[in-house]
Structure 1
Amino acid sequence: MNTYKLTLIAVLAALAVVGRFAFQHIPNVQPVTTLIIICGFFLGPVAAMILAVLTTYLSNLFLGMGIWTIWQIVAWALIGLGSGLIGLWKIKRPLYVLVGFAVFSGYFYGLIVSLSNYIITGKYFAYYLAGLPFDTYHAVGNGLFMVILYPALSVIFKRYNKRYVHTKIPTQ
């Protein structure tokens, strides 16, 4: 992993922490999941998992730590792993595929984070069902953030790939 790649991950982590803090008043709407998906798509699964750990830890320093922090890291790391695997395919992937994955990730994140309640209380389904509206906010927010952030960030990542990796990323 070169210095430029680490710098991109650090900048994305800062952007994700600021974005999460800025949108904290809207329940479950934040750009973190989308940034992790974009990072995994362009930089690979390891970079996305590093971004997931950094973002969760740093943002929870401001927003509050708890048992859910571990589950947030697990959920976002798995989402980063999935997006990294999607990015490894050297075929043309339209934006709507990433938007669909972002929407799916909102529900997947809620499913994983709800496991923290099961560990504490032994009850899962009622807690998960009560959180479905918030998971829907997260999913819709992910889709909107993907439509907004992907075009701008893809230019940066394509420039990085052209300059440092020397592999061609299929255009959208």
Structure 2
Amino acid sequence: MRNPLLLKQYIHSIPASSLALPAMSKNVNKGSSEQQPLMQVMLDFENGHLKLEGDWQFLIASNEKNDAACVNYNQERISLDAAIYPALPINLDDEESNGLVLALEGRIKEGAFFSYCTGLLVIDSIRTGFVGPQLNITFLLYDLQVKNSELTFKLPVYTTVDTNYNN
């Protein structure tokens, strides 16, 4: 009997692009010699924590449901800290994990300002194949103080299966 495949942590980063940066924000890399990612997400399922950092204009422009005015609302990078409820490692071998919905609640730091957010995190199985299950982690976050401000991202998760083949 093999041990269950547990998803405890997940980190995803969208690197800065020399093509996208001029169109997105003139404030990215202000005073910095190294480019910061457009978005970086860290999910700690075991301890129930989501941390997101990114360029505001990229985050808003990547989502269709936001008002056009939201893009220019903030010119800086934002950071978001949220709790994931319930906090638990996700058993990817369990069929009950497909379609799993977890609640999110936290706060967004925009420069010197803070606002509160709420949302959902969804884990969907796309398929199981030769290399193992492929999943999507989708999170939907809503800034409670900015009307029509939604962040939705679908992030891929690839796993490998340790299988012994006789050739």
TM more than 0.5: no
When the two structures are superposed, what TM-score results if normalisation uses the length of structure 2?
A: 0.31
Q: Which has the bigger relative contact order, CA under 8 A and spacing at least 6?
A: 1
Larger Cα-atom Rg:
2
Structure 1 or 2: more strand by fraction: 2
